[in-house]
Amino acid sequence: MNSARIFWLDCHARSKKTARPDMMHRFAAFVLFVLSTTHVLAAPQEECVGRYRLTLPSEAEVAMTTAKAFTDGQVDPIRFADGMSAPLSSFAYNGVFHISRGLSQSVFDAKLKQAKDAAAASASSSDADERYTLVAAKDANTLAWKSAKNSGFYAYRNGTAVSFRTDPVPEERMSDVLANLSARADGEVPTAPGVCLPGLFVSGNRPDEFRNIGVTFRLKAHPDVLIFFHDLKVQKGQPQLTSRQKNEFVWTSEFGVGKAVKLHGVFPWRTIKLDGREGVGSFGTITRKNDTTDYGYLVTVQGDLDAPTDTPDLLLYVERNASASQGKTPVTADEIEKIGEEIAASIKRR
C-alpha cells in the first residue's frame, strides 16, 4: 500500500471525532487528485526495443506505420493513432519494415491481391531487374517475393499488417526474418533471444547484418510525454561520434526540437549509464518556433565496432511536448527529468 493511501487512512480514522465532515471531504478530494495526476503512482509498463528492454513509468501508446502509408504511401509514415507524427522512429532490421495495426483483414487481402497481380504482370518485362517471382509461403496471410534486386514479404499476424523489403541480398535473409516473425502485444517482453519492433518479435540470436530500431512511445495518462529509444548497430563507414559529440549534435542539429535549447547546470554534461555502459546525459529547456517552452532529457552512449560482442550506439530521449497534452495539465520540468532518469536506469540488454 503506498504512503499516500496509508496517510489518508490514518487521518481519516483520527478525524472521525475531531474533523468536520466538510474538511474530511475536501481532504479526500485532494488525495484522490494527487493519486490521479502523479505519474510515479501509476503501474509501469515493460517494453523492448531492438535487443534491449526498458521500463516505462505507465501505460503507453507506440507509434506505428499508418494504414495510408502501408497501402498508398505517406509523408512521415510513422505516427500515433491520432495522427501525431513520430519522425525519429525507424524500423530497420536486416531490411526495412512497415508495421501497422490500422488495416483490416479485407484491406490487407486487397493489398496481397494487388501484389500478386503486379508480380504476374512483371513476367512480361524485358528488364530482368523488373521481374518478380513469388516465393512459397506457409499460410494464406503471407506473400513472399524475390527479384534480381531485392526480396520481401507481406504478412498479417494477429491484426498486425507487416511489409518487409531487403536489398540487394540473397533471398535467405528475407526467408529467415519471415520464418522467425511473430506478433507481440504492447508491454509483452519475450524471454527468448531476438529483436523487438513495435507489435513484432523476430526470434533468434544470429549476428545482425544491420539494426536501426528507434521507437517512440507516448504516455496515455500524460500524452505530453514522449519517449524515444534507439538501438543502432555500429557499421563500417558510419560516423564515429563520441557520446558527448552525439549529445551536442542531437541538441543543435539532428532532432530539430526547436529554435533554441538551454541546457541546465554549470556543467550540463553528466555521466549516465545505459545497460552499465558509460554515456553522456543532459537536460534542457526547449524554446519552440512559436516561442513556447518545453523540456527534454537526453542520454547518448557511443557504440564500439571493434568490441568482441555487439556493442551498439544507444540513445534515450524523453521530451515534454505541451501542445500534445490533450487538455491535461502538462508535466513539470522536474517530472520530465525524473522520468528520464528512471527509464535510463531500467535499460538492460535483453
Q: What is the DSSP string of 265-296?
A: SSS--EEEEETTEEEEEEEEEEE-TTS-EEEE
DSSP 214-243: EEEEEESS-TTEEEEEEEE---TTS----H
- Alpha carbon separation from 134 to 117, 144, 162, 169 (Å, rounded): 11, 6, 17, 16
Tell me what pLDDT residue 185 has: 96
Which phi and psi (to 5°) does residue 48 adopt? Answer: -140, 145
State CA 317 to chain mean position distance.
11
Angstrom CA distances, 321 to 37, 98, 335, stand at 17, 26, 13
Contact 157, 137 (CB under 8 A): no
Domain shared by 229 and 190, yes or no: yes
Structural domain of 91: 38-349
Half-sphere exposure of 170 (CA within 13 A, CB side): 4
pLDDT for residue 26:
55
Please check whether residues 304 and 228 belong to one and the same domain: yes
Q: How many domains does the chain have?
A: 2
H helix or E strand, kind and range, residue 315: strand 313-320
CA count, 13 A, side-chain hemisphere, 62: 27
Closest alpha carbon to 69 in 97, 41, 32:
97
- CATH code: domain of residue 264: 3.40.1000.10
Q: How far apart (Å, rounded) are the C-alpha atoms in residues 64 and 111?
A: 18
- Classify strands 313-320 and 45-49 as parallel, antiparallel or unpaired: unpaired
Same structural domain for residues 224 and 333?
A: yes
* Amino acid in the structure at residue 273: K
3-state secondary structure of 7: helix
How many other CB atoms are there within 10 angstroms of residue 191's CB atom? 6
Could you tell me if 318 and 294 are in contact, meaning their C-beta atoms sit under 8 angstroms apart? no
Q: Tell whether 186 and 266 lie within a shared domain.
A: yes
Q: What pLDDT score was predicted for residue 40?
A: 46
pLDDT confidence of residue 251: 95
Q: What is the pLDDT of residue 310?
A: 95
Whether residue 46 is found in the same domain as residue 32: no
Residue 21 and residue 161 in one domain: no
pLDDT reported for residue 217: 98
Helix 21-37 with 3-18: angle, nearest 10 deg: 170
Same domain, 10 and 126: no
Same domain, 24 and 64: no
Task: Scan for cell 487521518, then name that residue.
Answer: 11
**Terminal CA-CA length for the chain:** 30
Is 108 found in the same domain as 24? Answer: no
- Burial class of 247 by CB neighbour count within 10 A (0 to 12, 13 to 18, 19+): buried
What cell numbers appear for 150 in the block? 531485392
Q: Are 202 and 332 part of one and the same domain?
A: yes
Regarding whether 195 and 84 lie in a shared domain, the answer is yes
pLDDT per residue rounded down to tens, the chain (350 residues): 443 333 333 333 444 344 455 555 554 544 444 444 444 447 999 999 999 999 999 999 999 999 999 999 999 999 999 999 999 999 999 999 999 999 999 999 999 999 999 999 998 888 888 888 998 888 889 999 998 888 999 999 999 999 999 976 667 889 999 999 999 999 999 999 999 999 999 999 888 999 999 999 999 999 999 999 999 999 998 888 999 999 999 999 888 888 999 999 999 999 999 999 999 999 999 999 999 999 999 999 999 999 999 999 999 999 999 999 999 999 999 999 999 999 999 999 99
Residue 17 burial by CB count (10 A; 0-12/13-18/19+): exposed, middle or buried? Answer: exposed
> Residues 163, 29: one domain?
no
